[in-house]
Structure 1
Amino acid sequence: MIKFQDVPYVRLDMDQYEEKFRKQLDEIRDTKSFGAAYYALLALDRMREEFGTLAVVCEARNTMDVNDEFYRKETEFFDHVKPRYEALENEMNEVLLSSPYQKELEKHLGTEPFRLAALKKESFSPEIMEDLAKENELSSRYSEMIANLTAETEEGTVPLSKIGPHLGSKDRSERSKYAAIWEKAYASVGKELDELFDQLVKVRAKIAEKLGKTSFTEVGYCRMGRTSYTKKEIASFREEVKKKIVPVANMLFEKQKEDLGIDVLYHYDEDIFAGGKKPEPTKEILEDFRKVYKELSPETHIYYEDLLECEFFDLAVRPGKIMGAYSNYVAAYHMPFIFETYNATEGALKTFAHETGHGFHSYIKRGEPFSFAGGCSSDLAEIHSMGMEFLVWPYLHYVLPEEDLSSYKYIHLKNALSFIPYGCAIDEFQETIYDHPEFTPEDRKALWKKLEKEYLPWKHYETEIFLGQGRAWQRQTHVYRWPFYYIDYVLAQVCALELHFMDEEDHDQAWNCYKNILKYSGQMGFKDTVEAAGLPSPFEKGVIGKLADSVAKSIL
């Protein structure tokens, strides 16, 4: 099997690609039978996989080192040609929606790809292609800017990712010191972050106007494939979170403050267990997780062994590598690529489980004839990852010292619950911003401060260097690069917690439920998928309150 480092890359000839793509679309239009339409669409899907593979390889190598001049230029190339590719996808969606064989195709693809095609059609027009290229260019600039942030420490100038272990020190004065160092690094580009986001809001407002939408919020909902719920339902969901989850989360942080014996729980204290020591996961995460996935299931064992053999991962911490994590499917090689800046903290451990959960879904789906089956809306995709974070709990003794297990689980569960209000705050922030594109940078910071008080009343910042200015949202890549993604994490977190409590009662039931979510994702929408798998929808009455009570009983 080929290793990721040996995967060849070549710049796509976009003119030639467009010509071949459109010829294949003509063939689908001209087919006289379902069988002919099926195989013509299959051939087109192979072309889509070609584009996707090259885009993923380029992105991976660029994020592995944003200062690599070759892949920097290739990333610029993709920023400019992706709108042309989206135009082709839009033409494909029109062909799918007008096909006389739609009902027969739905038996093989599921109904969801057709609903998503209708939404994607709403969020694209040839008129916006230049604006999309500009949006891509600006959002890529954010990643490059953050990847090159450095921190000034006693050891000299280091990548920002290197100071993670200091932020988890049991010495509170060390945490305070390095939190300030971290904030100074971000503050050094504060003005540029304001200007960059201002440009993004303006170009996105222009896109919405050209598409005939009232605001970019509508465009965002189309882009995210919201086939199961509306803006109104999300607003009601956020209110339920304020009423039921915020008070419980606040109690957890109040208890933590008392247990730590401190007067004010600052943001750098939030992940510190009562004993003052943070969990210390293995540094050899790749090798030690072998045992985790071997015991979890036969499927995860095979998947993980393939991942290691092919070396489709990059976990190193180094200058020029972006901070963050993702899993992208490299279609031509039928393997996911797992990316993380792993620094052996408890957060990095959770992230590794998260990204390998994403990878497991794409690995499981790789045998499907159409790539539509492997794709799904991100609200479902994030259940694959957040669910895996909890499903590995029984096997964490392979990657954590025995004495750290209880504190890791405590922090994970508390953070999972408190993340839900945070994600809702991000979502309401974005909705308000895009419904009011005239807001200034100062208006945006004031709005974030207001939302923090409503959703995150336990938040306290020791300084006004960066976070205390109402800038915490600026460290969230998704706000810049993938607007309206964050509520998908929230809905998935609710489902992951439901899965966790099911797992505590009956592991086999929970594992089968999880596998069914993987199976139905891409074929059905969010609500239908979770309900068919055996989980109540987060929108169902009483679910949020019951979840808050379950977490409270577990750790209060």
Structure 2
Amino acid sequence: MNAIPNFSDLAFPQPTRESLADDYAAIGALLDAGDLAAALAAWDGQRRAYDSWASLVHLRFSQDTTSAAAKAAREYADVLSPVATAHETTLKRRLLALPDRAALEAATGGFALRLWEMDITTFEPAIATDLEEESRLGARYTEILASAKLEIGGQVVNLSGLAPYAEDPDRAVRHQAEALRWGFFADHGAELDAIYDDLVRLRHGMARKLGFESYIPLGYRRMRRTDYDDADVARYRDEVATHVVPLVARLLERRRREQGWDVLRYWDEALVDPAGNPKPIGDHDTLCVQARTMFDRMDPRLGAFWRFMEEGGFTDLKNRPGKAGGGFCTSFPSLGAPFIFANFNGTHHDIGVFTHEMGHAFQNWESRFQPGIDYLWPTMEAAEIHSMSLEFLTHPHMGRLVGESAAERFRRMHLETSLAFLPYGVCVDHFQHEVYAKPEATPAERHAIWQRLERRYMPWTDYGDLAYPAIGGRWQAKAHIYRSPFYYIDYTLALCCALQFWVRSRQDPAGALADYVALCGRGGSAPFTGLVASAGLASPFAPGALEAVVREAEAVLAS
């Protein structure tokens, strides 16, 4: 690869219907001539160029959802995406039909063929306009949430900006923050219900056009899950209900007693530490400087990579009006460079999202020399191992980011919030399974489904006078439900693995980090369970895997 330019200088040629047709015709001609190696190389280059352009377009929209130019570019990309997918699917079918399977496996590394066999079942031209509409609806959801302007503490903030107030030591301030948040969702609830209703019916319709009974199997195939199914996930959710829900209930009850609250309300859950949640020692610039030292001390490769990201402008971490909420990592595969997007708000979440997305980015960087684009990223549950594990592997160095006096408090808070996340994560997943099993449900029925599942996985939740979440509206704040169906369970599966890295790091920090870096370098060259095994981790689907890490965490929190 050539030298990587600064992010500010990035520009990728805009593809068109005609240029895509020409590119794939040229690749087909190479296959006609019997030159498999040249055809695969040309295709890999074409996909890298297209994905780099699309990533930049969608990133620019996330950076400023109010920009008419960015929105127009995103809409153009949404229209072109099904066209590119159609060409890609046609070529995958042709490659998979080649008589010399052994030569194809040797040229691709083998696992790619399993991915392609799954991919070709997820697209037909009949759903092209549906995919375009799906993208449009998801973007509309993002725009609505990014439009929030809420007054609190003499400031006007967006939803991300509410975070410091939502964990303020003053209970009245926390309540005010949540009242503002859920008032916003109540005001937009009807449109958010309508968007999701359209998405569910659209996805169900696509599934039926492709020959599936419901969207559930199609959703799993779109996530490229080759080594487990919804029955495995259901058993895993049961494990969380059995081993994690009672522990989280005990932790929250202990917190209620320590704080002297008569009842634990929803707006109390975000305040984890009785002394106040530890916060970053400074603003964006301070954190970035401290991160240099932290990553240098952890591993020279991490340190050098962070300097590349920082000096090249491959991060956007500051919160601002019009910026999409949340955090993510994207990449430009024609360059071999990732990009970290986040919304710092002055709370411990800044550290969480920063180390999380840095884990994604470092994995993508380490795997940039994998033989093909299919291996640059693993499937998402495996990808989340890298992000969530780095959150834990940075624990010994937290003094750099929160101050030495608060470092141990931060570690305990992060461990406790990680455990509390598991029930919420599986609730989000279970909700989606029930929604797509009954696509004809009304919005009111979907809210009732959430309420019922919430009582199973988070029985401690008490919304008090927050009317909108109390009637089952909390799920509307989770973007993954709208934009990335069935993704959310991946965080919980990965967390089971990340906790194993945490246990290992407490006994052998250098060995755990070496195993982590090696796993990053493998990229997506194997399915989820294969990558997990390659790092010496137990599969979350294995009996006792979740129970063992939860037992260790409980022991640490009891000390």
Q: TM-score, length-normalised on structure 1?
A: 0.96
Which residue number corresponds to residue 22 of structure 2? 19
Give the Cα–Cα distance (whole angstroms) in 1 for the partners of residues 107 and 247 of structure 2. Answer: 45
Deviation at 1:43, TM superposition (A): 1.5
Counterparts of residues 306-325 of structure 1 (less than 5 Å): 306-325=308-327
2:446 match: 444
Q: State how far apart, in whole Å, the 1-side matches of 2:249 and 2:384 are.
A: 25
CA distance in 2: counterparts of 1:410 and 1:270, whole angstroms:
15
8 Å contact from structure 2 (residues 325, 343) kept in 1: yes
Kindly indicate whether the alpha-carbon contact (under 8 Å) linking 1:149 and 1:186 is maintained by their aligned counterparts in 2.
no
In the alignment, which residue of structure 2 is the partner of 1:150? 149
- Structure 2 counterpart of 1:477: 479
User: Which stretch shifts more, 424-433 or 233-242?
Assistant: 233-242
SS at match of 2:120: helix
What residue is the counterpart of 2:205 in the other structure? 206
Any gaps of 5 or more consecutive residues in structure 2?
none
Report what 2:102 is aligned to: 103
Q: Which amino acid is the alignment partner of residue 227 of structure 2?
A: S
Secondary structure of the residue aligned to 1:341 is strand
Where does residue 523 of structure 1 map in the other structure?
525
How many Å apart are 1:463 and its aligned residue?
A: 2.2
Counterparts of 2:460 and 2:321, CA distance in 1:
34
Distance 1:148 1:256, change over 3 A: same
Per-residue CA distance 1:203-227 (angstroms, 9 max, x = gap): 1111011011010011101001111
2:114 aligned residue: 115
Paired residue for 1:460?
462
Q: Which residue of 1 aligns with 2:195?
A: 196
CA contact (8 A) 2:364 2:523 kept: no
Partner of 2:267: 268
Q: Aligned with 1:437: secondary structure? A: coil
Deviation string for 1:55-105 (max 9, x for gaps)? 111111111001111110010111111111111221232133223454344
Q: How far apart are the structure 2 equivalents of 1:183 and 1:26?
A: 57
Question: What are the superposed Cα offsets for residues 446-488 of structure 1, whole Å, 9 maximum, x if unpaired?
Answer: 1101111101112221223322221111111110001010111
Q: 1:273·1:411 contact (CA, 8 Å) conserved in 2? A: yes
Secondary structure of 1:375's counterpart equals coil
User: Is the alpha carbon distance of 1:224 and 1:320 closer, same or farther for their aligned partners in structure 2, counting shifts above 3 Å?
Assistant: same
Q: CA RMSD in A?
A: 1.6
Tell me what 2:5 maps to: 2
Equivalent residues in 2 for 1:288-307 (5 A)? 288-307=290-309
- State the secondary structure of the residue aligned to 2:447: helix
Please give the per-residue CA displacement for 1:40-63, whole angstroms capped at 9, x wherever unaligned: 211111111111111111111111
Tell me the equivalent position of 1:182.
181
For residues 245 and 8 of structure 2, what CA distance do their matches in structure 1 show? 45
User: For residue 54 of structure 2, what is the aligned residue in structure 1?
Assistant: 55
Displacement, 1:107?
4.2
- CA distance change for structure 1 residues 64 and 303 in 2, over 3 Å: closer, same or farther? same
Check the 8 A contact 1:294/1:301 in 2, yes or no.
yes
Q: Secondary structure at the match of 1:294?
A: helix
Task: State how far apart, in whole Å, the 2-side matches of 1:424 and 1:530 are.
Answer: 20
More divergent stretch after superposition (402-411 vs 203-212): 402-411
Summarize the alignment of residues 123-138 of structure 1 with structure 2, pairs less than 5 Å apart: 123-138=122-137
Cα contact 1:325–1:355 (8 A) shared by 2? yes
Out of 352, 371, 380, the residue aligned to residue 378 of structure 1 is 380
Note if contact 1:109-1:373 (Cα within 8 Å) is conserved in structure 2. no
Residue 258 of structure 2 is matched in structure 1 by 259
Instruction: Check the 8 A contact 2:362/2:520 in 1, yes or no.
Output: no
Q: State the shift of 1:156 in Å.
A: 5.2
- Superposed, 1:156-555 pairs within 5 Å as 157-281=156-280, 282-283=282-283, 284-555=286-557
SS at match of 2:329: strand
Shift in CA distance, 9/145, structure 1 to aligned 2, threshold 3 Å: farther
* Displacement of 1:5: 1.9
Given that residues 370 and 523 in structure 2 are in contact (C-alpha distance below 8 angstroms), is that contact kept between their aligned partners in structure 1?
A: no
How many residue pairs get aligned? The number is 552
From the superposition, tell whether residues 99 and 259 of structure 1 become closer, same or farther in structure 2 (CA, over 3 Å).
farther
SS in 1 for 2:540: coil
Letter in 2 for 1:13: T
Q: What pairs with 1:75-86 in structure 2 (closer than 5 Å)?
A: 75-86=74-85
Is the Cα–Cα contact under 8 Å of residues 271 and 411 in structure 1 kept in the other structure? Answer: no
| Residues in 2 aligned to 1:415 and 1:134: alpha-carbon distance in whole angstroms | 36
Instruction: Work out the CA distance in 1 between the residues paired with 2:552 and 2:272.
Output: 20
Letter in 1 for 2:25: R
Q: Which moved more, 1:438-447 or 1:36-45?
A: 36-45
Q: For residue 95 of structure 1, what is the amino acid of its counterpart?
A: R
One-letter amino acid of the counterpart of residue 505, structure 1:
Q
Cα–Cα, structure 1 residues 197 and 154, in superposed 2: closer, same or farther, change >3 Å? same
Q: Is the 8 A contact 1:37 1:101 kept in 2?
A: no
Letter in 1 for 2:93: E
Partners of 1:22 and 1:504 lie apart in 2 by 55
What TM-score, normalized to structure 2?
Answer: 0.96
Q: CA deviation at 1:182?
A: 1.7
- Matched residues, percent identical? 31
**What is the alpha-carbon distance in structure 1 between the residues aligned to residue 279 and residue 514 of structure 2?**
31
1:332 counterpart SS class: coil
CA distance in 1: counterparts of 2:29 and 2:468, whole angstroms? 54
For the residue of structure 2 that corresponds to 1:340, the secondary structure is strand
In 2, Cα distance between equivalents of 1:209 and 1:469: 32
Once the two structures are TM-superposed, the CA of residue 267 in structure 1 deviates from its matched residue by: 2.3
